[in-house]
Chain A
Amino acid sequence: MPSSPSSCEVSVHGLTKRFGHRPAVDDLTFTVDPGQITGFLGPNGAGKTTTLRMLLGLVRPTAGAALIGGYRYEDLEAPSHMVGALLEANGFHPGRSGRDHLRTYAAGTGVSDGRIDEILEAVGLTQAARQHVRGYSLGMRQRLGVASALLTDPPVLICDEPTNGLDPEGIRWLRWLLRERAARGHTVLVSSHLLAEMQQLVDSVVIINRGRLVYDGAVNAIGMSSVRVTSRDAAALQAAVMAEGGTQTRIESVDDTTLRVHGVSADTIGVLALRAGIVVTQLVTESSNLEQLFFSLTAAENEPAA
């Protein structure tokens, strides 16, 4: 029964996809809320693309459901008005102009040619609008992909590795665009394997590995930064920091002399060390926590079986 959903929530319930006997996506469950950017992370081959394609009705799930606003993509009354998709494998006919590509697929949506020229201007393709896609660079194709995803200004945006092929300026522009949409209350789901890039962009993350969910939550909850501190007496420093730190404080030993401290600032650690009379030889704030989390969550499983 085709329906127009009232909410823009994207959700996946017990989603499973097997190719032969190999599960590409294995009993995956998570929810993506509107009003923020959600990163969908995992190593290559983790099942990200397959999951996104199941959300868009392009790949049929073996089990479970992939829903947009509570409905399967093919049951949405006006899917093009509800969901914008920017996918890696989205192709263009080489002998069709960029403008005609948009006009073709928008033919059923009631989008005017004026709006098409507007979006082409917004993605910087006005000059090339009437040229055949055959002559487009990878970056131009990616911009045309963005234009088709945003043409109807849909409340849900699904992007698979969207920064591939974009130059640094294009990546900055895309980031700005995704933030602006999230700020307007839209749902934005972005997959990537580039963690450093994601850290600056996303509000929350869903991390999968080998088709299974390994983390689902806000980036803040992970702790955006940690402090790496090396001292002559790591044990004493650890005791001093733990004595002062709150419930959020967590300390890992990197080696005999080095600690990684979560939940306490470098400034506070410096003060605590001075007070305890401990010599500190290195004190660095690390901001690549998403990456650390990612590897600590996925590394164990990726160890080759002995």
Chain B
Amino acid sequence: MTAALRIELRKLTTTRTWWALALAAVAVAVLVTVLTVAGSDASEHPPLDIFTGALIGGVQTAYMLTAIAGISSVAGEYRHRTATASYLAVPHRGRLLTAKLLVLAGYGLVVGVVVVGICSAIAAPWLASRDLLNGTLSASGVARAVIGGTAAIAVMTAVGVAVGALLRSQIVAVGALLIYLFAIEQTINSISLTRPVYPYLPGGAVQALAFSGHRAFGSPTGAELLNPWLAALLLVGYAVVITAIALRTSVRRDVS
């Protein structure tokens, strides 16, 4: 297992893809946060929701990009035909995939710390200077947004690894991820009939993990979110279940 982890870590540090995606994640997250803060209005939400609302856009764009990194870590091996070398070095496929999950989750954690750190450092003083926080921002609320937001990026990176393993094709997997995050989840959250399902979907679980509001963003009468611990467990569950399915189907397949 140590060998598999070392190999996966070195795959990450020897090409520019990962740096580029991390940099893009930070840049886009900062941009989204800046735009959200600039457009904030005191009448809309209580103070903490304004802060977390500024952060959530950043976190959501960041995990979209780190999930793509997760997809590439598996699907890219088939695309560049390095899967052969990888399986020769680590013939146990479950071990190889577990190493990828752990290393990419670590990568997501590092990106998450940077993204959430920079976005908070921009949002909090700026909102305060505009008197939007009104001195009521609680330390525990901020801590939860920061820790939860970081954890969300890490777990969603691992979910990306699982999706990449299941679908094997980089284009198909990235396309499926974007369609899911942008279209399917948003649609489910905006239709009143399907809205109660939203808290159980990855997007809803991420909100529950990171943000103190009881109701989901994106709709005035958002669905009630899960308990953050349950949400964390659910997100890990997504990564584990998709990985388990991948191990029994696509990953088992012959490499030629």
A residues neighboring B (CB under 8 Å): 49-50, 53, 56-60, 73-74, 76, 79-80, 83, 85, 87, 89-97, 100-101, 103-105, 107-109, 148
B residues neighboring A (CB under 8 Å): 2-4, 6-7, 9-11, 14-17, 76, 80-92, 252, 254-256
Complex contact A93–B80 (CB within 8 A): yes
Which single residue of chain B is at the shortest CB-CB distance from A57?
B91
Chain A residues whose C-beta falls within 8 Å of the C-beta of B91 in the assembled complex: 57, 73-74, 76, 79
Given the complex of chains A and B, what is the CA–CA distance between A100 and B17 in angstroms? 14
A50, A73, A89: which contacts B84 (Cβ < 8 A)? A89
Complex contact A103–B84 (CB within 8 A): no
Complex contact B92–A90 (CB within 8 A): no
Given the complex of chains A and B, what is the CA–CA distance between A273 and B256 in angstroms? 56
New A-B pairs, 4, CB < 8 Å, besides A90-B81, A95-B15: A53-B255, A58-B256, A73-B91, A100-B15
Closest 5 CB pairs of A and B: A108-B3, A91-B81, A74-B91, A100-B14, A107-B6
Chain A residues whose C-beta falls within 8 Å of the C-beta of B83 in the assembled complex: 91
A105 CB, nearest partner CB in chain B, Å: 5
B7, B15, B81: which contacts A105 (Cβ < 8 A)? B7
Complex contact A58–B80 (CB within 8 A): no
A45 CB, nearest partner CB in chain B, Å: 13
Given the complex of chains A and B, what is the CA–CA distance between A179 and B11 in angstroms? 34
Chain A residues whose C-beta falls within 8 Å of the C-beta of B85 in the assembled complex: 90-91, 101, 105, 148
Complex contact B252–A103 (CB within 8 A): no
Given the complex of chains A and B, what is the CA–CA distance between A49 and B81 in angstroms? 16
Which single residue of chain A is at the shortest CB-CB distance from B20?
A95
Complex contact A108–B256 (CB within 8 A): no
Q: A91-B82, A92-B80, A93-B80 are in contact. Are A79 and B6 (CB under 8 A)?
A: no
Which single residue of chain B is at the shortest CB-CB distance from A149?
B88
Chain A residues whose C-beta falls within 8 Å of the C-beta of B89 in the assembled complex: 79-80, 105, 108-109
Chain B residues whose C-beta falls within 8 Å of the C-beta of A107 in the assembled complex: 3, 6-7, 9-10
Q: A57-B91, A91-B80, A109-B3 are in contact. Are A97 and B14 (CB under 8 A)?
A: yes
Given the complex of chains A and B, what is the CA–CA distance between A10 and B190 in angstroms? 62
Given the complex of chains A and B, what is the CA–CA distance between A76 and B87 in angstroms? 13
Which single residue of chain A is at the shortest CB-CB distance from B79?
A91
B208 CB, nearest partner CB in chain A, Å: 37
Complex contact A95–B16 (CB within 8 A): yes
Chain B residues whose C-beta falls within 8 Å of the C-beta of A50 in the assembled complex: 256
